Structure 1
Amino acid sequence: MLLQHPIVQTAASSLRTDPSNPDSSKFHAGAPRQSTALAILAGLWLILFFAALFAPPLLDDADATHANAARHIALTGDWVTLHVNSIRYLEKAPLPYWLVAISFRIFGFNTFAAHLPQGIGVLLLAILGYAWANKAFGARTAFYTGIAVLTAAGVFLFTRIFIPEVLLSLLLCISLYCLLEALSRSNTRSAYAMWAALALAVLTKGLVALVFFFGAGAIYLVLSGDYRKWRALRPFTGLLLFLAITAPWHILAGLRNTGGMNGHGFFWFYFINEHVLRFLGKRIPMDYNKLPGYLFWSLHLVWLFPWALFLPSLCDQSIKAFIAHRRASTPIFENWPVWTAYGVAILGILLRNLFHAPYLLVVAAAGLVILLIELRRRQRLEPGTALLHIETYAQRTTLLLAVYSGLILVFFSLSTNQEYYTFPAYLPLLMLLMHAVVRSETTFSIDKASRRWITVAHAAFTILGIAIFVALAYGLWTSRKEAFVPDIGDLLAHRGVGDYTLSMSHLFDLTGPSFAALRLPATLAAIAFAFGPAIAWLLRQQRRHLAATTTIALTSGLFLIAAHIALVRFEPMLSSQDLAEKIQELEDDRVISRDNEVLLYGDQAYGSSIPFYLGEDVELVEGRSTSMLFGSTFPDAPHIFLTDADLLAGWGTGERKILFVPLEKRDDVDKLLGSRQVLLEETSGKALVTDRPLDRQPPVDSVHIRSVFPALHLPR
């Protein structure tokens, strides 16, 4: 079935040498056969992504929050207004939630169904990269692009949770691919496919999709001179198709969601608050951090690891292309000192992480003026001359991918950001990197610069591998006498770097004793880095380039398997599924009645997996914040928000209360409830407490309960 997918068939058919690209034939040499390449890509995906769909369970915060929104769609059939815990959730575009809701209806409410659309998105992204790179650069670059997408650290890491980035990346890259196809072949179907993919991208992430596509497309059309072919893009009928896909949801969402905070409804909250004010860092509520400029840029070496090690090769190939263009008297490079000075000014803004709107507008206007003056000057000299000398499909692809990925990186260096926001740039960057690797491999024996930089990459990979192996071996040796503790959360430092609003904050919580719970993944990673980099370098020196690059991918693949096992070990800390199961277990054993009230203390993100696995909405104590804030202001919002006073007034009366207390709020609840609480379960500092003794003694093997008199915190 997989090999019959239309995109796979497109990839297969495009394996033939592109006649419009005279350089493509030499880059087919040494590439695996079509069947072998597709089998390797499918195998990598099955091992690294499909097998990882079953565990760990949904994580608290964004993962389970978004799954709850999709669950509401599947249960209620309301495909217009997203809800989380029955509260309007208006900050997100709907397409990812529609897909997961469909998956829930087919496979049930479970982790596999929640993450399956993302897993399929990764596969399609790899196949798209394979097909596009094959058409532009040849079969070997296509194969390398496919395995790079599947083994890049960032692609794997940022598809462990339910976020829309992989779907956005897929749809935007499809629209860009169709843009080139429409321009190069005047293909009407490609033009309409471009508009349809762009519309779906808007329904995936909002207006930022338009910024990236039209920004990159406009710059590309001006630089390449393809703006003269604008009719091939079917702008009028295509725009109608775009609106036919995007407008209905936006209109219905606006009509159904009015009268919120300060009289605002969907349109203000979604378009102004979630787009304009988020970019400016003034979103309500202000619950997003921003990475420092130097960290934002340098972390991409991690997200694209191990392929980012070939960045020097990409720079080397880019410099050679720059020199070649200058020798060909490419128009734009006649004023290269002006462009260099302008580039230095932009670089200073990015590295210093400046954001002063008037200054940025002046800089942007200056760039536009320089561009228009240069274009007008060239047109006077040679009417119709493009700013860049673009002839082949490979050159067009290179220009478009470079402009598109650069725009994304610059945009999020200025905006508020999370580490994964630049995910849509990963495929174009990896494609450019892999093309540079192939060119370096092709000239490895005759070009000293190519050989030097590709050797530098292998040397860095080997040295880094040795360092990682030594660090892991040391950790394994020093923790050899430590007892294995299933609940790794009890051994972490809980430093709260970035207040956990950055997705990688928990990495700073690792401690020596916690290493004992990570022996298996640490051993696998140590083995991978002890042998993989050295073997790849040895194969490279023997001129066995395909085997060398594939070995790098396999090394990264084994490391990602180890990383996934480590993530599963963090389950008690990152997910609250076990606490939801404890409630269900107590009910099944009739230790407590099924007529009880489940409450979460603090923001719902602290324990968002509990309502998902319980299959019911819960009340929030002092939780009217972040994603729940705006939706709670609508007049028909259910009364699920309690204050501390409400909790105290109802505690011990009426139906049994079961309160989830996150680690961050344990001290607050201790001060509030004191000895009026009974501890049902505790894991990774999170606790379930109830307001009265149990109805009867539980079976010894099924429940372990500790009464708290007088304090909740007991020695661990």
Structure 2
Amino acid sequence: MRGHDAGQHKGDGQNAAIVALAVLTALLMFGRLGTPPLTTANEGLYAQVAREMLETGQWIVPHINSVVYFEKPPLLYWLVALSMRLFGENATAARLPSALAGAAIVSTVFWLAGLMFGRAARIPAALIMATSLGFLLMARQVMFDSLLTAAVTVSLAGFYAAWRLDRRRFSYLGYLGLAAATMAKGFVAPALVVLIFLCWSASARDLTRLRPLTPLGPILLYLLLVAPWHIAISLQRPDFVWFYFYNEHIGRFLGTRQPKDWRTGAFYTPFLGLLLLTTPWAFLLPAALYNALSHRRCGPPARGNSDFLICWLLVPLAFFALSGNRQYAYAMPAAPAVGLLVGVLWQAANTGSPSPRLSAWVRAPIAAFLLLVAAAWITCGLKAGVPGSSGERATLLFVGLSAFIVSLSYGLSLPPSRGLSPLFRCTAAGAATAWLLAMLIFRSIPGIQTEEPLARALIACNPPEGAVVAVEGRLEDSSSFLFYLPRRLRPVFVVEGRTGGDLQYGSTDPSVRRLFLSAKQFAELCARREVFYLTNNPPRLPLPPGMQKIDGTRKKILWHRTALRPPTPRPILHQPLGSPGALLKQRNSAALPALCPRKSPYSGLL
């Protein structure tokens, strides 16, 4: 009876820990998801593509500002559009698919850790993923990387389960995840998955490890899910074939893509990106790799697990390090491997007596990490409160680091215990507390770029019929401004921003060339029409005569060509609840001059 009671008590403890993990993951992924507003450049760009799908019903060919946009497959756009149809056109709805993908990554790591290393490894591995601060930041943005990583993780887990359990049906799960990854970010996904399995097979000279990738039924399922969209868009737009398959895939990898709209990072950029994505757990990665390499001597099962995780970790990093386009976020598909490797390290440290060498591998990075945290805390404390975005960022980091240090110090002071060690629990608690405090205290993240306040200022002016909106420079540099504009003010004109950006290829279409203006053409437009104009701060181009400032931020200024006339009240066009158009509220004519004065208070300063 005693053994039965002990087992039941242990099971109840496991269940309680799983529930706590689920609640914590939900808080970290979905808490205040709509704060801050959508940002420029990527979030506003991708959310606007999804919104135009909703508005036009064109689900095959992506558009932004009525311009074709071939760069990425449509899965993220489809999911964001569905979310906005259900919950309104707002930041929360736009970010929800990425946050759900982040939660799916944590869940898949939980399941895969149990399959590979037993029940005791599930919670540490999943908790590490859920409290990795860079991973959380990426999962809460309208970006392709969270969706790609979730799909690749599911694919790798499915193929590994098919090999480990010798059950073919898991290959269907692998190819289902691979299809989602391909429709999320293109054929980089199958390249990564196949390379990981090839390296894993080569590490043991065992071709049977490739068997989960070979069944015909799952391959046909993959083609059935991936081929229809590629065929449909190629039939509608034959130029898609060259741009997408060569320019966007091969050209981007080789660094010859036209136009080159990115900054090529250094060779080490993906490795540094992984460290940032998995903070604060990355400091234990050397010890985790040492532990994994030690397990290779323990027999085929342990060696197979270790080799699989090492290949999963290194292949994406090497792939993007050799690419001509290196970005920090591209390391995200390798992040789940860090969660699994470090989770197994904690399991090994807590369930047995670690060797002196392994203990040294753990203690040395912890000491270095504590010194780094202390130095960062002191530096941020000295800069906190300084006016400007740097002072705001320092205050945010100081608050987060303070919470982290308090929690970590408490963990170090506790005696060792069975199960999860106090240090592990307090490290996770410190990271989670730092993130939650940042979400609760700060209404927006200092230093980010969003034009949502300027869009609200424009809408408050109640532009008359016939008024047009223009932006200075490339449209993606003002993408959140575009998202928060109502449909009647779109498409916007782009002034001296056709070349060198995301819309250069689409701008060659004769049907949209009129939207891309030279400075001279814009001056002629201002002579004929009432114009609202968003520029950099300060403007990069000379302003046409008569421009007056309405509002501004650190990076952008909103102008109007002439003094605004007090408009008569007009009925509001129907907009979905929560949409940017719903920001346009009925105001009486007496209240409008306060928002949009006849003479700008800044006009004397210009």
Contact map agreement 2:295 2:306 (CA 8 A) in 1: no
Alpha-carbon distance in 1 for matches of 2:62, 2:352: 54
Answering whether residue 341 of structure 2 is matched by residue 432 of structure 1, we say yes
Alpha-carbon distance in 1 for matches of 2:337, 2:442: 28
- Matched residue, 1:57: 37
Once the two structures are TM-superposed, the CA of residue 460 in structure 1 deviates from its matched residue by: 2.9
- Matched residue, 2:155: 175
Once the two structures are TM-superposed, the CA of residue 543 in structure 1 deviates from its matched residue by: 6.8
Relative distance call for 1:219 and 1:662 in structure 2 (3 A) is same
Q: Which residues of 2 match residues 427-576 of structure 1 at below 5 A?
A: 427-444=336-353, 447-476=355-384, 479=385, 491-492=388-389, 510=390, 514-515=391-392, 519=395, 521-522=396-397, 524-539=399-414, 545-564=420-439, 568-570=443-445, 574-576=449-451
Relative distance call for 1:180 and 1:543 in structure 2 (3 A) is closer
Q: Which amino acid aligns with 1:604?
A: L
Relative distance call for 1:232 and 1:660 in structure 2 (3 A) is closer
Once the two structures are TM-superposed, the CA of residue 267 in structure 1 deviates from its matched residue by: 0.7
Once the two structures are TM-superposed, the CA of residue 561 in structure 1 deviates from its matched residue by: 2.9
Once the two structures are TM-superposed, the CA of residue 681 in structure 1 deviates from its matched residue by: 1.0
Q: Which amino acid aligns with 1:550?
A: R
Answering whether residue 585 of structure 2 is matched by residue 699 of structure 1, we say no
Answering whether residue 467 of structure 2 is matched by residue 596 of structure 1, we say yes
- Matched residue, 2:291: 317
Answering whether residue 167 of structure 2 is matched by residue 275 of structure 1, we say no
Query: Which of 142, 145, 169 is matched with 1:189 structurally?
Result: 169
Relative distance call for 1:212 and 1:705 in structure 2 (3 A) is same
Once the two structures are TM-superposed, the CA of residue 111 in structure 1 deviates from its matched residue by: 0.5
Q: Which amino acid aligns with 1:86?
A: S
- Matched residue, 2:579: none
Answering whether residue 485 of structure 2 is matched by residue 611 of structure 1, we say no
Answering whether residue 227 of structure 2 is matched by residue 247 of structure 1, we say yes
Q: TM-score, normalised by structure 1?
A: 0.75
Alpha-carbon distance in 2 for matches of 1:50, 1:267: 38
Alpha-carbon distance in 1 for matches of 2:472, 2:441: 28
Relative distance call for 1:474 and 1:658 in structure 2 (3 A) is same
Q: Per-residue displacement from partner, 1:78-103 (whole Å, max 9, x unpaired)?
A: 22111011100001011111111110
Alpha-carbon distance in 2 for matches of 1:230, 1:425: 20
Contact map agreement 2:449 2:555 (CA 8 A) in 1: no
Once the two structures are TM-superposed, the CA of residue 32 in structure 1 deviates from its matched residue by: 8.1
Relative distance call for 1:566 and 1:602 in structure 2 (3 A) is farther
Relative distance call for 1:456 and 1:140 in structure 2 (3 A) is farther
Alpha-carbon distance in 2 for matches of 1:138, 1:704: 64
- Matched residue, 1:357: none
Answering whether residue 96 of structure 2 is matched by residue 116 of structure 1, we say yes
- Matched residue, 1:422: 331
Per the alignment, in what secondary structure is the counterpart of residue 694 of structure 1? coil
Aligned residues: 572
Relative distance call for 1:31 and 1:449 in structure 2 (3 A) is farther
Relative distance call for 1:142 and 1:555 in structure 2 (3 A) is same
Query: Which of 441, 450, 461 is matched with 1:586 structurally?
Result: 461
Contact map agreement 1:87 1:638 (CA 8 A) in 2: no
Once the two structures are TM-superposed, the CA of residue 119 in structure 1 deviates from its matched residue by: 0.9
Q: Per-residue displacement from partner, 1:597-652 (whole Å, max 9, x unpaired)?
A: 01111111121112211133211111213111111122333631111111111213
Q: Which amino acid aligns with 1:660?
A: L
Once the two structures are TM-superposed, the CA of residue 432 in structure 1 deviates from its matched residue by: 1.0
Per the alignment, in what secondary structure is the counterpart of residue 600 of structure 1? strand
Relative distance call for 1:162 and 1:232 in structure 2 (3 A) is closer
Alpha-carbon distance in 1 for matches of 2:447, 2:193: 41
Contact map agreement 2:536 2:557 (CA 8 A) in 1: yes
Alpha-carbon distance in 1 for matches of 2:366, 2:128: 16
Per the alignment, in what secondary structure is the counterpart of residue 688 of structure 1? strand
Q: Per-residue displacement from partner, 1:5-49 (whole Å, max 9, x unpaired)?
A: xxxxxxxxxxxxxxxxxxxxxxxx999833222222222223222
Query: Which of 509, 514, 532 is matched with 1:639 structurally?
Result: 514
Share of identical aligned residues, percent? 26
Alpha-carbon distance in 1 for matches of 2:464, 2:72: 37
Alpha-carbon distance in 1 for matches of 2:12, 2:173: 30
Answering whether residue 567 of structure 2 is matched by residue 659 of structure 1, we say no
- Matched residue, 1:145: 125
Answering whether residue 109 of structure 2 is matched by residue 129 of structure 1, we say yes
Relative distance call for 1:409 and 1:713 in structure 2 (3 A) is farther
Alpha-carbon distance in 1 for matches of 2:401, 2:218: 53
Per the alignment, in what secondary structure is the counterpart of residue 57 of structure 1? coil
Alpha-carbon distance in 1 for matches of 2:165, 2:139: 35
- Matched residue, 2:6: none
Q: Which amino acid aligns with 2:217?
A: T
Answering whether residue 76 of structure 2 is matched by residue 102 of structure 1, we say no
Contact map agreement 1:183 1:226 (CA 8 A) in 2: no
Alpha-carbon distance in 2 for matches of 1:709, 1:668: 22
Q: Per-residue displacement from partner, 1:113-157 (whole Å, max 9, x unpaired)?
A: 000011111111101101110121123321111111111122012
Contact map agreement 1:576 1:610 (CA 8 A) in 2: yes
Q: TM-score, normalised by structure 2?
A: 0.87
Alpha-carbon distance in 2 for matches of 1:316, 1:286: 40
Q: Per-residue displacement from partner, 1:43-78 (whole Å, max 9, x unpaired)?
A: 222322211312111101110100011111122222
Per the alignment, in what secondary structure is the counterpart of residue 147 of structure 1? helix
Report the RMSD for the aligned CA atoms in angstroms: 2.8
Relative distance call for 1:75 and 1:712 in structure 2 (3 A) is farther
Contact map agreement 2:495 2:518 (CA 8 A) in 1: yes
Once the two structures are TM-superposed, the CA of residue 527 in structure 1 deviates from its matched residue by: 2.6
Relative distance call for 1:215 and 1:544 in structure 2 (3 A) is closer
Alpha-carbon distance in 1 for matches of 2:295, 2:153: 24
- Matched residue, 2:237: 257
Q: Which amino acid aligns with 2:276?
A: V
Alpha-carbon distance in 1 for matches of 2:424, 2:373: 16
Per the alignment, in what secondary structure is the counterpart of residue 329 of structure 2? coil
Per the alignment, in what secondary structure is the counterpart of residue 660 of structure 1? strand
- Matched residue, 1:407: 315
Alpha-carbon distance in 1 for matches of 2:236, 2:442: 40
Contact map agreement 1:572 1:578 (CA 8 A) in 2: no
Q: Which amino acid aligns with 2:362?
A: I
Once the two structures are TM-superposed, the CA of residue 319 in structure 1 deviates from its matched residue by: 4.4
- Matched residue, 1:3: none
Alpha-carbon distance in 1 for matches of 2:417, 2:379: 30
Per the alignment, in what secondary structure is the counterpart of residue 460 of structure 1? helix
Q: Which amino acid aligns with 1:468?
A: A
Per the alignment, in what secondary structure is the counterpart of residue 156 of structure 1? helix
Alpha-carbon distance in 1 for matches of 2:23, 2:375: 29
Q: Unpaired segments of 5 or more residues in structure 2?
A: 1-8, 567-588
Relative distance call for 1:475 and 1:31 in structure 2 (3 A) is farther
Answering whether residue 56 of structure 2 is matched by residue 76 of structure 1, we say yes
